[in-house]
């Protein structure tokens, strides 16, 4: 994956996006990888995970300023797209997301509540 691919995904997806960097030689990051794989399986309807070996994705890691492993970069979910686009600027702004660098290997504990809130908000939007 490269930065252009990630930018394309971010512009096309409304789901929360998580880019997880791990290294095969680092035990804490292997634990992070396992957690991310489980969270991906449990939440694929509301979140997209990209679980990347840092050694194979050095260019992207540098572009995203990853300095430690494990590292997770999160992009919040966007509200569903509507057909009411009164201005091009409004539509453009709705796809911009700031990356959030998450500490260490705390993926499980940090995101279980986030996924609960996200599911609750999605249910409200559907009704």
pTM here? 0.79
Flag whether 27 is in a domain.
Answer: yes
Q: pLDDT, tens digit, for every residue of 85-127?
A: 554 444 444 557 888 888 666 666 666 677 777 778 777 777 6
Q: What are the C-alpha distances in Å from 88 to residues 10, 29, 82?
A: 18, 41, 13
Given this model, what pLDDT does residue 91 score?
A: 45
How many domains in the chain? 1
Q: Are 74 and 91 in contact (CB under 8 A)?
A: no
- Whether 59 is in a domain gets the answer yes
Q: Residue 26 is encoded by which pair of tokens?
A: 């680092």
Tell me which residue range forms the domain holding 60. 3-80+96-126
Three-class SS state of 50:
strand
Question: 66: closest CA among 111, 19, 98, 32?
Answer: 19
Q: Examine residue 104 and state whether it is found in any structural domain, yes or no.
A: yes
89 located within any domain:
no
């Amino acid at each position: 994956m490269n930065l252009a691919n990630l930018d394309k995904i971010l512009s096309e997806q409304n789901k929360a996006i998580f880019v997880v960097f791990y290294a095969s030689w680092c035990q804490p990051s292997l634990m992070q990888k396992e957690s991310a794989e489980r969270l991906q399986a449990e939440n694929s309807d509301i979140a997209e995970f990209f679980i990347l070996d840092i050694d194979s994705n050095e260019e992207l890691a540098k572009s995203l300023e990853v300095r430690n492993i494990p590292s997770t970069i999160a992009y919040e979910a966007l509200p569903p797209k509507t057909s009411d686009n009164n201005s091009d600027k409004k539509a453009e702004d709705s796809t911009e997301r700031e990356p959030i660098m998450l500490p260490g290997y705390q993926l499980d504990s940090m995101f279980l509540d986030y996924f609960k809130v996200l599911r609750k908000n999605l249910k409200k939007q559907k009704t």
